[in-house]
Amino acid sequence: MQRSVIRGNRATMSRIALRFIQATSLTKSHALRDQLADQDQNAWQPGQLHSGLSWTHYRNLLKIERQEARDFYEIEAIRNGWSARQLERQIASLLFDRLLKSRDKDGVMMLANQGSQPTQPIDVIKDPYILEFLNLPESPQWHENQLEQALLQQLQDFLLELGSGFAFVGRQIRLTLESDHFYPDLVFYHIKLKCYVVIDLKIGKLDHADLGQMQLYVNYYDREIANSDDNPTIGLILCSEKNDAVVRYVLGERNTQIFASRYQLYLPTEAQLQAELRRELGQLALSIPTLKNT
């Protein structure tokens, strides 16, 4: 039965691809794109031909067997204007599956049917974050400022990995409490959630002091920087290693604003990323279907 469903789904995408080839071969102008652009885009559904996607986009989508994952990538590629290369990268990094971790079954279906539409802080958090675009070797000799500089040099790629809605505010913005000065690594503003996002980078294993420092940053932004109509600040610590029990006990069960996520400096294999996601989901006592894009 499952194989029949997969064959049916792929057959649907194959028909779309065939229509795309036939349509583009029948015209030497942009008439097809103009016609599709004039259509009511609100009536568009995943699986239908869209002027915002090229044949290369559809070729990438054809490789995805799970319909819910394919629908998600198709929606997000159109909504965010991903190039074919960006779409390929997001599929390879299992973006859909990394976003599943914070969602129940209804949330999974919403993600597949509507794409990413964040309404709360956890909706924009991934774990792990994949930073393979930095082309940095794995080394214990790295310092936080070197990682920060590398991210800023590849800011466009970092924004792609963070997700839509993030706007860069600044780096090392000084916070002063009486005679003490503090410098969070990176500050963003999330346009959709209407809140500041403070990001700190940690080389090595996360400890309780890092979480306490982030709590200070979040409180400062909430009380001194944010406007009255802004939502509470989000704090995100990117670290190479963490103890989830320490995070839970330091932040408490009711924490909804501060998060700690691992980062990886290489694009893992599908098997490696599956193992990481299943380990995390096991700790959360959740379950998801077999993670398989291709």
> How confident is the model at residue 41, as a pLDDT?
53
Residue 104 has pLDDT above 70, yes or no: no
Task: Give the domain ranges of the chain.
Answer: 2-92, 121-283
Assign domain 121-283 to a CATH class. alpha beta
Residue 40 has pLDDT above 70, yes or no: no
pTM: 0.73
> How confident is the model at residue 237, as a pLDDT?
96
Name the β-bridge partners of 283: none
Tokens of 138: 């794995």
Which residue is it, tokens 């990481």? Answer: 276
Percentages of the chain per state (helix, strand, coil), in multiples of 5: 50, 15, 35
The larger pLDDT score, comparing residue 30 to residue 201, is at 201
CA–CA distance, 74 with 82 (Å, rounded to integer) = 10
Using alpha carbons, list the distances in angstroms from residue 99 to 116, 141, 152.
Answer: 9, 31, 24
Q: Return the ∠ at Cα 92 (arms to 88 and 95), rounded to 5°.
A: 100
Burial of 2 (0-12, 13-18, 19+ CB in 10 A): exposed
Q: Considering the chain, what is the average pLDDT of its residues?
A: 80
**Beta carbons of 201 and 185 less than 8 angstroms apart:** yes
Backbone angles phi, psi at 164, to 5 degrees: -70, 150
What ranges in the chain are assigned the alpha helix state H? 2-25, 31-38, 55-62, 67-80, 84-92, 95-100, 105-114, 144-153, 155-162, 208-220, 244-251, 270-283
- 10 sits in the region (left: phi over 0; alpha: psi -120 to 50; else beta) called alpha
Residue 18 has pLDDT above 60, yes or no: no
> How confident is the model at residue 3, as a pLDDT?
46
> How confident is the model at residue 143, as a pLDDT?
82
pLDDT tens digits, one per residue of 74-93? 998 998 899 999 999 989 88
Number of alpha carbons in the 13 Å side-chain half-sphere of residue 27: 11
* % residues pLDDT > 70 (the chain): 72
Residue 61 has pLDDT above 50, yes or no: yes
Q: Which of 151, 177, 176 is nearest to 236 (CA)?
A: 151
Split at pLDDT 50, 70, 90, the class of 258 is very high
